[in-house]
Chains A and B, each alone.
Chain A
Amino acid sequence: MSDIVLSRPVPVTTEPPLARALLVGLAILFVAIFLFAPLATVFAEALAQGWRGMIAALSLPDAQAAIRMTLSIAVIAVPLNAVFGIAAAWAIAKFDFRGKAFLITLIDLPFSVSPVVAGLMLVLLFGANSSLGVWLMAHDIRIVFAFPGILLATLFVTFPFVARELIPVMIEQGRTEEEAALTLGASGWRTFFTVTLPNIRWALLYGVLLCNARAMGEFGAVAVVSGKIRGETATMPTMVEMFFNEYLSVAAFTLASVLAMLALLTLLLKSLLEWRHADLLAATCRH
């Protein structure tokens, strides 16, 4: 687009060349300082003692337990979130009912709640100092400082991800295709799996990708709820904090570099999706 504009004899809809160069330079400098420098630091610090240091760090039992914990949380939290997102989007996009706008606001709510406050809520709800917590303790059910608490905290902070991606896409696609399928005699489930799901698969993948990145990387909410017990409830990000505070810099940055690789992979897949299937994503509602 702008290539054409730039090659016009009198480019009235662009800035003078000097201003353009300055702005591009400013943008590149800004991104280099604020985004690329921290990212490079993660890998540089992890490699401070070479590959051996990284391998030694990764073979620490605490690090391995944290990796297992993070993977287990993501394996459960992301599918649950996807099911919720699909259900919420189906109800919101395909039906008209009262209170829809309010429901969307409630789904978005976790975006604006501090992760620490989210963790605090779960501690107050299930902790030993609440009546529910006392009852749970009497029945030997552990939620806070245990796996279920971390799972709930992760679900809270990732709650809007899939739904937010699917709702605009499904609203735009309307319901005529589903109605046609039903008219032709397909069952509700068959309609969903053969008509709706193929239509939303890229948007779903996009949402799942972002949800997974956040689920594996969540720190504040999990730090509060998990109690950060080494080898038991510590996740990768909380283990990064503990290593860092103990001046185990290489161990902290090695674990951090694994998370950074994951982030880069997420960005790569996300960019691929945006370039290939932009029309099937809620691109204007990107968050």
Chain B
Amino acid sequence: MKAALLRAPSPLPGFGLSFGIALAMLSIVVLLPIGALLGRGLMIGPAELWGMVNTRRVWSALALSFRAALIASLFNLVFGLVLAWVLVRYRFWGRRLIDAAVDLPFALPTAVAGIALTALYAPNGPFGQALAPVGLRIAYTETGIWLALVFIGLPFVVRTVQPVIEELDRDIEEASATLGARRSHTLRRVILPTLTPALLTGFALALARSVGEYGSVIFIAGNIPGLTEIAPLLIVIRLEEYNYDAAAAIGIAMLLISFAMLLAINAIQIWSRRRIGLV
């Protein structure tokens, strides 16, 4: 009934029931587990937590997860923009197929992507063999991790930027051309600024997803401690050693990174709404 006092009156029924179901499930499925992790952190104490995170192995794992996610998301920022632009603006054979395929990383289980990429880029795999003469080793190196994260993050940039390109007003481009701007100038000075908020949002979403990614990475990474061991894998290792406190410490560090990125995404969206009224 307390909820009723905090909401505007409405003739529709079912607020109590729907709000109750939503809140109950949210609490059991999401809030209680997050509370358990944070509660565990409180029990361990900040000094102890810091001690467990502040080791070379944990730092290099966290740094690797973040660095690889950043590199892959930057790569996706560029190619995602190209892909979104091509899909909206150009008509070519196979466009619809490619448009549908962009969502493959959402639909394909990460473990499947992981073993497929490993089979492709392993020294005896088709791509691995082709790249060996050039001296490029991808599987079991950090490059392999980038590759897996490019796969995972690709749809985020494309699907955030695509609707904004669809909404672009061609009159502005025509005006720019009429005023004597070359096409490259129009693209850089007129179109790109309009797309910036969507690009940033897509980039941040891809980054948030990539930092915590596990399934597609562990097969191709090689998982050498200090070199190609990502932070989520280190949590799994600590759990397998029954070292729950150390696992919780890394988990809290990663959760804080997630919260920070969620805040960043919200900030980008508020900023872009103020700026151009688009998501």
- Besides A108-B262, A219-B214, 19 other CB < 8 A contacts? A12-B173, A12-B174, A14-B183, A23-B90, A28-B94, A39-B108, A95-B12, A97-B8, A112-B258, A112-B259, A117-B255, A117-B258, A120-B247, A156-B33, A219-B215, A220-B232, A224-B236, A241-B219, A263-B104
**Is A122 part of the contact surface with B, judged by Cβ < 8 Å?**
yes
> Are the CB atoms of A42 and B10 closer together than 8 Å?
no
A-B contact count (CB 8 A): 318
**Is A94 part of the contact surface with B, judged by Cβ < 8 Å?**
yes
**Is A140 part of the contact surface with B, judged by Cβ < 8 Å?**
no
Chain A contact residue count (CB 8 A cutoff): 111
> Are the CB atoms of B106 and A213 closer together than 8 Å?
yes
Cβ–Cβ < 8 Å partners of A130 in chain B: 36
Which of chain B's residues has its CB closest to A130's CB? B36
- Select which of A42, A110, A271 is within 8 A of B112 by beta carbon: A42
**Is A106 part of the contact surface with B, judged by Cβ < 8 Å?**
yes
**Is B77 part of the contact surface with A, judged by Cβ < 8 Å?**
no
> Are the CB atoms of B120 and A188 closer together than 8 Å?
no
Main SS of chain A's interface residues? helix
**Is A116 part of the contact surface with B, judged by Cβ < 8 Å?**
yes
Q: A13-B177, A87-B18 are in contact. Are A114 and B8 (CB under 8 A)?
A: no
> Are the CB atoms of B244 and A26 closer together than 8 Å?
no
> Are the CB atoms of B12 and A179 closer together than 8 Å?
yes
Cβ–Cβ < 8 Å partners of B48 in chain A: none
Main SS of chain B's interface residues? helix
Cβ–Cβ < 8 Å partners of A237 in chain B: 109-112, 215
A-binding residues in B (CB < 8 A): 3, 6-8, 10-15, 17-22, 25-26, 28-34, 36-37, 40, 79, 82-83, 85-87, 89-92, 94, 96, 98-113, 115-117, 119-120, 125-127, 150-151, 154, 159, 163, 170, 173-174, 177-178, 183, 187, 208-209, 211-215, 219, 231-233, 235-236, 239, 242, 244, 247-248, 251, 254-255, 258-259, 261-262, 265-266, 279
Over the window 60-89 of chain A, the binary record of Cβ atoms lying under 8 Å from chain B Cβ atoms (1 yes, 0 no) is 000000000000000000001001101110
14 contacts between A and B (CB under 8 A): A24-B92, A26-B82, A35-B104, A37-B127, A41-B125, A88-B21, A112-B209, A113-B255, A114-B211, A114-B213, A120-B235, A120-B251, A122-B36, A263-B109
Cβ–Cβ < 8 Å partners of B120 in chain A: 37-38, 41
| Distance in angstroms between the alpha carbons of A127 and B33 in the assembled complex | 12
- Select which of B19, B32, B83 is within 8 A of A31 by beta carbon: B83
Cβ–Cβ < 8 Å partners of B150 in chain A: 34
> Are the CB atoms of A113 and B232 closer together than 8 Å?
no
Which of chain B's residues has its CB closest to A36's CB? B101
**Is A200 part of the contact surface with B, judged by Cβ < 8 Å?**
no
> Are the CB atoms of B98 and A96 closer together than 8 Å?
no
Which of chain B's residues has its CB closest to A213's CB? B107
**Is A57 part of the contact surface with B, judged by Cβ < 8 Å?**
no
| Distance in angstroms between the alpha carbons of A99 and B113 in the assembled complex | 39
Cβ–Cβ < 8 Å partners of A54 in chain B: none
Q: A38-B113, A90-B14, A125-B36 are in contact. Are A117 and B215 (CB under 8 A)?
A: no
